[in-house]
Amino acid sequence: MYTSRENAERAYVAYLAQEDDDETKETTDAKGLLADEQNFGETFSQKEETYNDYPEAATNNAKRALKYKEENGSSCGTPVGWTRARQLANRERISRDTIARMASFKRHQQNKDVPYDEGCGGIMWDAWGGDAGIEWAIRKLDQIDNKKSMIYVYKNQSLEVKDVDAKQGIVSGYFSAFGMVDSDGDIMMPGAFKRSIQDWGPDAKGRIKHLLNHDPSKPLGKIMELKEDNYGLFYRSQVGKHQLGQDFVKMVESGLISEHSIGFRTLREQKNDSANEIHEVMLFEGSSLTAWGANEHTPMLGIKSIKNIDEIKEQIRNFEKFIRNSDVTDETIELCLIKVRQLAQAVEQMSSTKATVEEPKQQKGEERVDVSSLISIINKI
């Protein structure tokens, strides 16, 4: 049983394309196998992304094997193996399933050094791309699957909550802003969210969610208004009366929510010399962020808008005050601690990069923060 026709076709193509464990055997139904693989492969390739960024060395290895077979003849391999060689030699685009079969061919590497005229190991190894092709396939498969393991991608921006009515539990702000080039070189363009709002927005199916930190198990409230304006993607949400919602309102009132993010899938984009313009997306959710994500580059997004270390120190003071005095849940406290530790780490990094720069004179009455002592205090909370 399959969840979709596409999945069924994928399984059938994989079944048809399975090579024999012993690459020296001929397939009895070679012509029928190739015809079926081509027909179903063509149907499926129209729906799946394909790739041809394999190394030139893989192409040359396949060409070498094909040339030997043409000039000397060879009974080695299966039709699938020689089809693969022709694909690589012609630098055709290949699917994820084909790449997976290339990667799995690594099990034959113990025979790769067999001379062409003494056996099948060497010639079939090269037909499948040789060392360069097989190693590329292993890396590429991991890259593709890691990318596909995420339902959607995130884009973070330093956008604070615009307004909050604590009594009514209503917050408003921006999930995304137009015209800002991010660290990936992407820029969200006006109109990118139009179709999602029409199809999934609060006036349609109401399927776009307001979450905390992109966590589906942590909904903050119901989006009442979602629209594009000249600045970006504006939202207005009715925060839930559950404990997480109430904690969120308290954090907003304390000025601790300084970043927002969107979870989406790109539908239409256009690259130019300066950036990659994203013109249409499928929007799944907007998130308010209490802490930076696990991606090692993400903290830099939050620091971009901070002009000096003192601004980060002020954020740390605000979080420390909130942690000590608030009656929020332990889970929310832990989220705040994560944020504080990341901010403290940012201070350390920025301090080390500016160690040779003369510090400005301290103003009378200005509080001076010892970063190392502050971090020690935080770690003991």
Q: Give pLDDT, residue 307.
A: 52
Asked if the model's pLDDT at residue 47 lies above 60, the reply is no
54 and 20 Cβ atoms separated by less than 8 Å: no
Is residue 135 within 8 A of residue 151, CB to CB? The reply is: no
Residue 5: which of 39, 44, 63 has the closest Cα? 44
- Burial letters for 146-156: b for 16+ Cβ neighbours within 10 Å, e otherwise? eeeeeeeebbb
Q: Which two tokens stand for residue 320?
A: 């420390």
Query: Whole-model pTM?
Result: 0.48
**If you search the block for the tokens 């959607």, which residue do you land on?**
152
Instruction: Name the pLDDT band for 320 (thresholds 50, 70, 90).
Output: confident
Residue scoring higher pLDDT (199 or 2): 199
Report the pLDDT averaged over residues 110-116. 94
The confidence score (pLDDT) of residue 141 equals: 84
- What is the spatial distance between Cα 278 and Cα 33, in angstroms, rounded to a whole number? 42
DSSP-assigned states of every residue in 249-315:
HHHHHTT---EEEEEEEEEEEEE-SS-EEEEEEEEEEEEEESS--SSTTHHHHHHTT--SHHHHHHH
Residue 120 pLDDT exceeds 60: yes
Q: Which residue has the higher pLDDT, 302 or 53?
A: 53
Segment 131-166, tens digit of pLDDT: 999 999 998 887 777 655 455 677 877 777 888 888
Give yes or no for a contact between 102 and 134, defined as CB atoms under 8 angstroms apart: yes
With contact defined as beta carbons under 8 Å apart, do 316 and 381 qualify? Answer: no
* HEC readout, 162-191: EEEECCCCEEEEEEEECCCECCCCEEECCC
Give the pLDDT score at 36. 43
Strand (E) or helix (H) holding 232 = strand 232-239
Length of the chain, please? 381
Q: How far is C-alpha 29 from the chain's CA centre?
A: 42
Cα pseudo-dihedral 309, 314, 318, 319, rounded to 10:
10
Domain ranges within the chain, ordered by starting residue: 5-148, 153-293, 306-353+371-380
Lowest mean pLDDT among 41-45, 309-313, 341-345, 347-351: 41-45
Determine the Cα angle at 260 with ends 257 and 261, to 5°.
150
